Structure 1
């Protein structure tokens, strides 16, 4: 499949199914949510299909996030990619040839390639191919992603908030947007 031409085009992969557990009022384990997640958005004209799977806003995470006795999905509470004291999991599907501009976020990202391959390039020009089944730990460096294959890929990212990097006392590196 080639680059999507509109927001009605979609990844060839199925949507992500999410099962969230919790507790009843009698402290028994229950399923709070079992649903297939819609693709959240296409990032402008880049064409990536994204599922925001789950998000927390503090660490340690607060497990009882019920409001008036009802569980509230934390993704709906705040749309930040990852909060400095929280975590997030998302999947990203990239079409063949897709390129994500260089960027840096204050998070530690655990990337797991579940389909296909992706190339990471650092700001010093270093490049590595991350293949299906490989894991990359991205620690606040400026980096870009490219799908150099002829097939779509799918990557899951578990992102944990992190503090900005201080090169020397009082000199912090800046976040860099991919936009």
Structure 2
């Protein structure tokens, strides 16, 4: 599988630690028959300082890019998309591998970091309903009070609450997130 994408006419490879995510997109031909429009690596991948490597696979709402692909290479996305949805695959490294000051800046840049007496460096809160699915590895989901270990196939419904992710293992944990924007005062 070719993992290169073209950005501004230049070939770009994903970071070495970022394993590609295959994205298959459907559509219709001129006769109205269903077809496969594309099949290949997700073009949008990020490795921002302080944050875990991630792929934005698809997006709807205000954050969607104009054009054929709403999640093209090089397009920046927030934690969720106002008025829409965002599908992101994230590779959480072990906690010991984080630069916590860089992660704090990343969370601050997005306006989601818990500035209270957080018990873990990843604590944050977004105005979104999130479906969090463990694909590989294991991770602890932490609330202000309580925590639970999640393994492959486990799903957490995160309802706009303060939360954190803690990978206490020695291996990367890959998760899928479907993030749905909540209007102010929206029910979860």
Task: Identify the residue that residue 92 of structure 1 maps to in structure 2.
Answer: 90
1:59-113 residue CA offsets vs partner (Å, 9 max, x unmatched): xxxxxxxx8xxx7111248734422321111100011225662111111110110
TM-score (norm 1): 0.71
Provide the C-alpha distance between the structure 2 equivalents of 1:18 and 1:74, rounded to a whole number of angstroms.
Answer: 13
Residue correspondence of structure 1 range 28-177 to structure 2 within 5 A: 28-38=33-43, 40-46=45-51, 48-57=52-61, 72-76=68-72, 79-97=77-95, 101-123=122-144, 125-165=145-185
Provide the C-alpha distance between the structure 1 equivalents of 2:50 and 2:16, rounded to a whole number of angstroms.
Answer: 12
Task: Identify the residue that residue 115 of structure 2 maps to in structure 1.
Answer: none
**Structure 1: runs of 5+ lacking an equivalent:** 1-6, 59-66, 167-179
Maintained 8 Å contact 1:39/1:49: no
TM-score (norm 2): 0.68
* 1:17 aligns to 2:22 (yes or no): yes
Provide the C-alpha distance between the structure 2 equivalents of 1:133 and 1:141, rounded to a whole number of angstroms.
Answer: 22
Provide the C-alpha distance between the structure 2 equivalents of 1:9 and 1:23, rounded to a whole number of angstroms.
Answer: 35
Q: Which of the pair is proportionally richer in strand? A: 1
Count residues in correspondence.
146
Maintained 8 Å contact 1:15/1:39: no
Structure 1 residue 31: deviation in Å? 1.5
**Structure 2: runs of 5+ lacking an equivalent:** 1-13, 99-120
Structure 1 residue 44: deviation in Å? 1.1
CA RMSD in angstroms comes to 2.6
Provide the C-alpha distance between the structure 2 equivalents of 1:126 and 1:88, rounded to a whole number of angstroms.
Answer: 27
Q: Secondary structure at the match of 2:71?
A: helix
